[in-house]
A and B are shown apart, each in its own frame.
Chain A
């Protein structure tokens, strides 16, 4: 059978990638395009008619001050959370690759928070902040102050994701062969210098991945936000995703909510892709 005819190529494609393509179109591309169309309507989410309004929703989204303050909050939250997640994850990964006793147990232990769903985790920590801490230190709950609520959100996110990112860093550590490091030490590096100048540069791809994953997750955080603070106190911890949900479903401005979701997506994509491009540039190999 000829293998370079068009029909052969199409058949091969359909056989191997056809189902995937169809599913991808059905669950990603089509809804995305439909969503794009909905941003041009003033649909309320329920009614049968979807009045076409052009780009009004985008104009309204840019004027929605609550949305932009939620966005600003999300950026602040993401910066703190991403930095802390990666520092903690890296430190944990370092510790559990030193050959200490029971390190597999520790690896599993640190990873467990990631297996608990965000909703459950939020309720568990809410109990800790509202009852346990209050009972132990007899103060007021951190969740009842605006900065405290943000602090709690960051803390819980770090706790949740650090174990997951740790696994990627562990893989990174394992991929750096001991010989390179040993060679550096023989050449007179201290162990700190060997870490800074040999191990970390070789693990660059782990950093790129971890930072990308944590940025994208933090930007669209919703579950922990909902169960831990529910946007309270007085709407001061409403993140962008929660604002979008409320706008679309609770306030019944589906078109506007969809437009705001799209803006959130674009911002998130720009930040994520820029970071990956910058990160990839300097990758080195041993």
Chain B
């Protein structure tokens, strides 16, 4: 008897363990049996994505599930691959397409949308990345606040650092003591602002190679100096000048939205923060002014941002459903409206003509349509923003000067390698 009881107990335990171990998730299926999972890495559109998934599931009979993670994209994808549960469609950053794509992404070269965008990512002759939207960087301005003091302010007329300084001086004279804000975040300083220095060079690869082998002295580089001149104007008129490196992004953006500040370097994604406040409708983006005189201050910097790829680890049917979904986004009216109107993204497809609702996105769309974008350089190493960002923060805090920053950036590049492309 005792033996039997012991045996039963053992069995129960083993079963319980087996139940814990066998975590094969049975994904529910839609009407025709296909279901796809989508990984969303844009936090600000998660609720719209979930809403869309419900509608899409109901209308198309393909069950769509949307997931979000606050982890870094690479870290999250690595855990998914480690547990052997790939998403059918994953939204990643451009650099991740280069690192993950060749191994995991389906070749999308035969898709119709490839012809309608200039931003798709091609690796080894195969189109792997579907651009979700266009994002661009520049100076965000609050037109209402500026025109209250400088009535004839025209963002397209501010081309040089001197002209920029003149507007700021006029604002200060008019009572706005500190017209600028500077985001101290390492990604803003290094991955967004400093990256423009690389991107404004005709051949960023050659420029970085030159820094690496010492044939280019960064401290004497014209573009670096021109951009840093403008950065100095932003830095010197910063509302949080005394504690620039503890300024909080939300506070800065709130002040900009509500007109206490006139200018901040940023990108159209900042709208998701600005629209949380009592913002002015008269806002927009303008290129970073500089004294190069080469036309670069007529252009925003940016391009495709966030890319979808279809995973080759899911079944044929799921891959097809995933491709259908991408086509739906580009060619179906509902898909277009989802992208542009609900998510307020700037579409990367020339056939989409819907108006972008948010003012920053509208600026980006205008520059995109005018072909006035300097392209992204997507191959900076993963630790670039953190390490160079730390150096840039020292500059912002006044601990090192411009030459010191150039030295630290050069030192960083001595050991760093750009991503394969």
Contact = CB atoms under 8 A, between A and B. Distances in A.
A, B from the same assembly: yes
A11 interface: yes
Interface stretch (A40-48, A106-114, A195-203): A40-48
B387 interface: yes
Contact of B387 (A1, A22, A235): A235
Interface in A208-262: 231-236, 246, 249-252, 254
B149 interface: no
Interface in A4-37: 11, 14-15, 18-19, 22-23, 26
A140 B100 contact: no
26 contacts: A1-B2, A14-B10, A19-B16, A22-B17, A45-B75, A46-B78, A46-B81, A46-B99, A47-B103, A143-B246, A144-B243, A233-B394, A233-B397, A234-B391, A234-B394, A235-B386, A235-B387, A246-B383, A249-B71, A249-B72, A249-B78, A250-B74, A250-B75, A250-B383, A251-B382, A251-B386
Nearest to A134: B243
B140 to A, nearest CB: 23
A26 B23 CA distance: 14
A231 B17 CA distance: 40
Interface string B372-413: 000000000111001100110110010100000000000000
Interface string A127-157: 0011000100000110110000000000000
A46 B100 contact: yes
B58 interface: no
Interface residues of A, number: 33
Q: Which 7 A-B pairs have the closest CB atoms?
A: A144-B246, A235-B390, A141-B246, A249-B75, A140-B243, A234-B390, A251-B383
Contacts of A140: 242-243, 246
B248 A130 contact: yes
Interface string B29-43: 000000000000000
Interface of B: 2, 6, 9-10, 13, 16-17, 21, 71-72, 74-75, 77-78, 81, 99-100, 103, 184, 186, 242-246, 248, 381-383, 386-387, 390-391, 393-394, 397, 399
A246 B383 CA distance: 8
B31 to A, nearest CB: 34
Given A144-B243, A249-B71, 9 more contacts: A14-B10, A45-B74, A144-B245, A231-B386, A233-B246, A234-B245, A234-B394, A250-B383, A252-B74
Contacts of B75: 45, 249-250
Most B CB atoms within 10 A — which of A1, A143, A144? A144
A11 B2 CA distance: 12
B386 A250 contact: yes
A246 B386 contact: yes
Contacts of B245: 144, 232-234
Nearest to A44: B99
A45 B390 contact: no
Given A46-B74, A46-B100, A249-B75, A234 B382 contact: no
Interface string A46-78: 111000000000000000000000000000000
Contacts of B74: 45-46, 249-250, 252
B243 A19 contact: no
Most B CB atoms within 10 A — which of A18, A46, A235, A251? A46
A246 B389 CA distance: 14
Nearest to A18: B13
B103 A144 contact: no
A92 to B, nearest CB: 31
Most A CB atoms within 10 A — which of B103, B243, B393? B243
Given A130-B248, A250-B382, A15 B243 contact: no
Contacts of A250: 72, 74-75, 382-383, 386
A250 B381 CA distance: 10
A1 B103 CA distance: 60
A110 B109 CA distance: 63
A15 B3 CA distance: 12
Contacts of B399: 234
A254 B75 CA distance: 10
